[in-house]
Amino acid sequence: MSFDLNSINFYYAAKKIIDNLTITLRSGQFYGIIGPNGSGKTTILDILCKHRQPQSGRVLYGGKNISEYSKKQLSREIALVPQNFYINFPFTVEQVVMMGRYPHMPRFSAPSAQDRKCVEDIMAQTEIAGFTDRFITELSGGERQRVIFARALAQDTAVLILDEATSNLDINYSLSLLNISEQRVKQQGKTVIAVMQDINLAAVYCDYLIFMTGGKIAAHGMTREVLNPETIAAVFGVESKVYAETYCDALQVVFKK
């Protein structure tokens, strides 16, 4: 189902974070959100998953106002992989991934065989099956990030939101995470909305790019249409060259130092 954001305004105290933003995000696409720090990217994600409510404007999901969905219903539709994940209690890796199944399980029941199978498959797919019984508190930042990604996949939702999900990962796991996400879009028609720092990785995976600055959308559209030196100069204030790279079959950017 698609998102329709209409004239969204969001303030934090007196500071305007999102400024009259309107956009439609269609299902079955890979969206990348790009912009400098403090441009409102994370706030937009929080508004999409109803963690924050805008002071004005409408957010529709599948044509229905997002406020009409209960938290429970939304948790079966939208999964979030946060950045800077931190946990203080020694849950096992398997327990954490299983938490992704909670929205599908009645409050007082144990996981079904189907839940267990789902968790097992996802742990194999994300290459974390090796540390099923390890404690999340004992993992490195990158390992933890992969567990959190697996937890979000276990939630089995139509929409997957990635908030700089690859920022702690080395390149092979970054690619693996993005490959799995892309596979979900191409094969299962799911939607991925990813805030990304690495413009070149975004250019390889995203069907659409949304450039944000100062709480507004500076440019958005298909990657090959919006990714150009003018947009990058307007958003980041740096000089760059954009060229078509056949090796990864995508546009790539190099920057002038």
Partner 1 sequence: MGLHTIRNHLREATISQIALLAAILGSAVVISTGMGYIQLPAMDVIKILMAKLSGQTSLIEGMDKIFPVVVFDVRLPRILSAAIVGAGLAISGVVFQGILLNPLADPYTLGVSAGAAFGASLAILLNIGFMGTASVPLFAFVGAVGTLLFVMYLSASGGGVSSTNLILSGIIVAAILSAGISFLKYIADEQVSVIIFWLMGSFGSRTWADVGLAFLFVGCGFLIFMFFARDLNLMSLGDRTASSLGVDTKRVTLALLVTASLIAAICVSVSGIIGFVGLLVPHMMRLLTGPDNRRLIPISLLAGAILLLAADTITRAVLPSEIPIGVLTALIGGPFFCYIFRKQQKAKKI
Q: How far is the CB of 73 from partner 1 (least distance, A)?
A: 8
The answer to whether 53 touches 82, Cβ cutoff 8 Å, is no
Q: Identify residues 117-156 at the interface with partner 1 (CB under 8 A).
A: 133-134, 148, 155
Q: 171-188 vs 141-154: helix axis angle to the nearest 10?
A: 10
- Nearest one of 162, 159, 156 to 146, comparing CA atoms: 162
CA angle 77, 223, 243 (to 5 degrees): 150
Q: Identify residues 8-27 at the interface with partner 1 (CB under 8 A).
A: 12-13
* CA separation for the pair 155, 113 (Å, rounded): 15
Q: Which of 26, 71, 117, 186 binds partner 1 (CB under 8 A)?
A: 71
Stretch that binds partner 1, among 1-9, 56-64, 69-77, 167-175 (CB under 8 A): 69-77
Q: Among residues 11 and 200, whose Cβ is nearest to partner 1?
A: 11
Q: List, in order, residues 6 or more apart from 187 with CB less than 8 Å away.
A: none
Q: SS in 3 state form for 103-137?
A: HHCCCCCCCCHHHHHHHHHHHHHCCCHHHCCCEHH
Q: Which of 38, 62, 90, 189 binds partner 1 (CB under 8 A)?
A: 90
Q: Among residues 12 and 255, whose Cβ is nearest to partner 1?
A: 12
- Nearest one of 113, 125, 118, 84 to 98, comparing CA atoms: 118
Q: Among residues 39 and 75, whose Cβ is nearest to partner 1?
A: 75
By rule CB under 8 A, what string of x and - marks binding of each residue 161-200 to partner 1?
Answer: x---------------------------------------
79 binds partner 1 (CB under 8 A): yes
Q: Among residues 42 and 166, whose Cβ is nearest to partner 1?
A: 42
Helices and strands, number each (H, E), in the chain: 9, 12
Q: Identify residues 27-66 at the interface with partner 1 (CB under 8 A).
A: 46, 49-51
CA 237 to the chain's CA centroid: 25
Q: Among residues 36 and 135, whose Cβ is nearest to partner 1?
A: 135
Q: Which residues here bind partner 1, judged by CB under 8 A?
A: 12-13, 46, 49-51, 70-72, 74-76, 78-80, 82, 85-92, 95-96, 99-100, 102-103, 107, 133-134, 148, 155, 161
